[in-house]
Structure 1
Amino acid sequence: MMAQYLEIKARHQDALLFYRMGDFYEMFFDDAVAAAEALDIALTKRGKHDGAEIPMCGVPHHAAEGYFLTLIRKGFRVAVCEQLESPTEAKKRGHKSVVKRDVVRLVTPGTLTEESLLDARRHNFLAALNVVRGDAALAWTDISTGALHVMPLAPVLLAPELARLAPSELLVAEGSEPGVSAIADDLGIPLTTVARGGFDSVSAEKRVSALFKTASLEAFGTFSRAEVGALGAIVDYLELTQKGRLPLLQPPEREAIRGIMQIDAATRRNLELTHGLGGGRTGSLLAAVDRTVTAGGARLLERRLSSPSMRLDIIHRRLESVSFMVSNRSEATQVSGALRKVPDLDRALSRLSLDRGGPRDLVAIASGLAQAEHLLATLCSSQQLPGDLQDALNALRGHDALLELLDKALIAAPPLLARDGGFIAPGFDSDLDEARELRDEGRSLIAKMQAKYAATTRISSLKIKHNNVLGYFIETTAKHAESMMSAPLSETFIHRQTTANQVRFTTVELSEMETRILNAGNRALEIEKRLYERLKQAVLEACVQVSAAAKALAEFDLACALAEIAVSENWCCPDIDDSRDFEIQGGRHPVVESALRRTGEPFVANDCDLSGGDAARIWLLTGPNMAGKSTFLRQNALIALLAQMGSFVPARKARIGLVSQLFSRVGASDDLARGRSTFMVEMVETAAILNQADDRALVILDEIGRGTATYDGLSIAWATLEHLHDVNKSRALFATHYHEMTQLAGKMDGVANATVSVREWEGEVIFLHEVKQGAADRSYGVQVAQLAGLPKAVVDRARVVLEALEKGEREGPAQKALIDDLPLFAASPSPTEIVKTGPNPLEQRLADVHPDSLSPREALDLLYELKALNEESVG
Structure 2
Amino acid sequence: MSDQPTPMMAQFLAIREANPGALLFYRMGDFYEMFFEDAVAASAALDIALTKRGTHLGEPIPMCGVPVHAAESYLLTLIRKGFRVAIAEQMEDPAEAKKRGSKSVVARDVVRLVTPGTLTEESLLEARRHNFLAAFAAVRDDCALAWVDISTGEFRVMPCPEARLAPELARHAPRELLAIEGSRLDDVALEAGAALTELPALSFDSAAATRRLSALFQVETLEGFGTFSRAELAAMGAIADYLELTQKGRMPLLRAPVREAALGAMQIDAATRRNLELTQALSGGREGSLLAAIDRSVTAGGARLLERRISAPSRELPVIHARQAAVAHLVADPRLTADLREALSRAPDMDRALSRIALERGGPRDLAAIRAGLTQGGAIAAMLGDDSVQVLADAACDLTGHDELIDLLDDALVAEPPLLARDGGFVASGYDDDLDETRRLRDEGRGVIAGMQADYIAQTGVTSLKIKHNNVLGYFIETTSTHAERMLAMPDRFIHRQTTANQIRFTTVELSELETRILNARDRALEIEREVFARLSRAVLDRAPQIGQAARALAEIDLTAAFADLAAGAGWVQPMVDDSRAFLIEGGRHPVVERALKRKGEAFVANDCALTEAATPAIWLLTGPNMAGKSTFLRQNALIAILAQAGGFVPATRAHIGLVSQLFSRVGAADDLARGRSTFMVEMVETAAILNQADDHALVILDEIGRGTATWDGLSIAWAVMEHLHAKNRCRALFATHYHEMTSLSARLPGVENATVSVREWEGEVIFLHEVKKGAADRSYGVQVARLAGLPPAVVERAREILHQLESGEREGAGKPAAILDDLPLFRAAPPAPAPKAKASAVEDRLQGVNPDTITAREALDLVYELRGLLNRPA
What TM-score do the two structures reach when normalised by structure 1?
0.95
Cα 1:628–1:502 change in 2 (3 A) is: same
Match for residue 583 of structure 1?
584
| One-letter code aligned to 2:867 | E
Deviations 1:120-165 (A, max 9, x none): 0000000000011121100000000001000001221111000000
Query: Secondary structure at 1:211's aligned position in 2?
Result: helix
Deviations 1:676-723 (A, max 9, x none): 111111111111111111111111111111111111111111111111
Alignment of structure 1 residues 761-772 onto 2, 5 Å: 761-772=762-773
Q: Give the one of 269, 272, 284 matched to 2:274.
A: 269
Q: Is the 8 A contact 2:756 2:773 kept in 1?
A: yes
Match for residue 392 of structure 1?
395
Match for residue 147 of structure 1?
154
| One-letter code aligned to 1:822 | L
Match for residue 452 of structure 1?
455
Cα 1:747–1:497 change in 2 (3 A) is: same
Deviations 1:413-436 (A, max 9, x none): 111111110000000010010100
Match for residue 37 of structure 2?
30
Match for residue 851 of structure 2?
none
Give the superposition deviation at 1:182: 1.4
Q: Is the 8 A contact 2:21 2:84 kept in 1?
A: yes
Alignment of structure 1 residues 287-686 onto 2, 5 Å: 287-380=292-385, 384-485=387-488, 487-488=489-490, 490-613=491-614, 617-686=618-687
Q: Is the 8 A contact 1:807 1:815 kept in 2?
A: no
Match for residue 745 of structure 1?
746
| One-letter code aligned to 1:116 | S
Give the superposition deviation at 1:808: 0.9
Query: Secondary structure at 2:427's aligned position in 1?
Result: coil
Q: Is the 8 A contact 2:494 2:508 kept in 1?
A: yes
Q: Is the 8 A contact 1:421 1:528 kept in 2?
A: yes
CA distance in 2, matches of 1:15, 1:735: 50
CA distance in 2, matches of 1:615, 1:739: 23
CA distance in 2, matches of 1:29, 1:847: 79
| One-letter code aligned to 2:467 | I
Structure 1 range deviating more: 152-161 or 354-363: 152-161
Alignment of structure 1 residues 96-107 onto 2, 5 Å: 96-107=103-114
Percent of aligned pairs sharing the same letter: 67
Match for residue 832 of structure 1?
none
Deviations 1:362-394 (A, max 9, x none): 00000000001111222226xx21212111111
Cα 1:818–1:131 change in 2 (3 A) is: closer
Deviations 1:802-851 (A, max 9, x none): 1111001111236964541213532248xxxxx9577356367798899x
What TM-score do the two structures reach when normalised by structure 2?
0.95
Q: Is the 8 A contact 2:135 2:235 kept in 1?
A: yes
| One-letter code aligned to 1:839 | P
Match for residue 734 of structure 1?
735
CA distance in 1, matches of 2:82, 2:816: 63
1:259 aligns with 2:264: yes
Q: Give the one of 44, 50, 54 matched to 2:57.
A: 50
Q: Is the 8 A contact 1:698 1:730 kept in 2?
A: yes
| One-letter code aligned to 1:726 | A
CA distance in 1, matches of 2:207, 2:99: 46
Cα 1:96–1:508 change in 2 (3 A) is: farther
Alignment of structure 1 residues 789-828 onto 2, 5 Å: 789-813=790-814, 817-823=819-825, 825-828=827-830
| One-letter code aligned to 1:72 | I
Give the superposition deviation at 1:94: 5.2
Q: Give the one of 116, 119, 139 matched to 1:112.
A: 119
Match for residue 870 of structure 1?
none
CA distance in 1, matches of 2:843, 2:618: 67
Give the superposition deviation at 1:52: 2.7
CA distance in 1, matches of 2:816, 2:202: 75
CA distance in 1, matches of 2:454, 2:367: 43
CA distance in 1, matches of 2:599, 2:426: 46
Deviations 1:762-810 (A, max 9, x none): 1101111100000112111111122222222222222111111100111
Deviations 1:30-52 (A, max 9, x none): 11111111111111221222333
Query: Secondary structure at 1:441's aligned position in 2?
Result: helix
CA distance in 2, matches of 1:83, 1:836: 81
Match for residue 226 of structure 2?
221
Cα 1:518–1:279 change in 2 (3 A) is: same
Query: Secondary structure at 2:136's aligned position in 1?
Result: strand
CA distance in 2, matches of 1:837, 1:36: 60
Give the superposition deviation at 1:184: 1.2
CA distance in 2, matches of 1:18, 1:204: 31
| One-letter code aligned to 1:702 | D
CA distance in 2, matches of 1:337, 1:848: 76
Q: Give the one of 70, 73, 77 matched to 2:77.
A: 70
Match for residue 873 of structure 1?
none
Q: Is the 8 A contact 2:617 2:730 kept in 1?
A: no
| RMSD, aligned CA | 2.0
Q: Give the one of 834, 839, 842 matched to 2:839.
A: 842
Structure 1 range deviating more: 1-10 or 229-238: 1-10
Deviations 1:724-763 (A, max 9, x none): 1111111111111111111111111111111111110011
CA distance in 1, matches of 2:526, 2:835: 93
Match for residue 871 of structure 1?
none
1:18 aligns with 2:19: no
Cα 1:814–1:655 change in 2 (3 A) is: closer
Deviations 1:842-869 (A, max 9, x none): 367798899xx9967635535657x3xx
CA distance in 2, matches of 1:298, 1:69: 22
Deviations 1:638-669 (A, max 9, x none): 00010011010000000000101111111102
1:693 aligns with 2:702: no
1:281 aligns with 2:272: no
Query: Secondary structure at 2:324's aligned position in 1?
Result: helix
Match for residue 861 of structure 1?
870
Query: Secondary structure at 1:257's aligned position in 2?
Result: coil
Deviations 1:418-457 (A, max 9, x none): 1110000000010010100111111101011111222222
Query: Secondary structure at 1:110's aligned position in 2?
Result: coil
Give the superposition deviation at 1:245: 0.8
CA distance in 2, matches of 1:101, 1:281: 42
Structure 1's unaligned 5+ residue stretches are: 830-834, 868-875
| One-letter code aligned to 1:31 | D
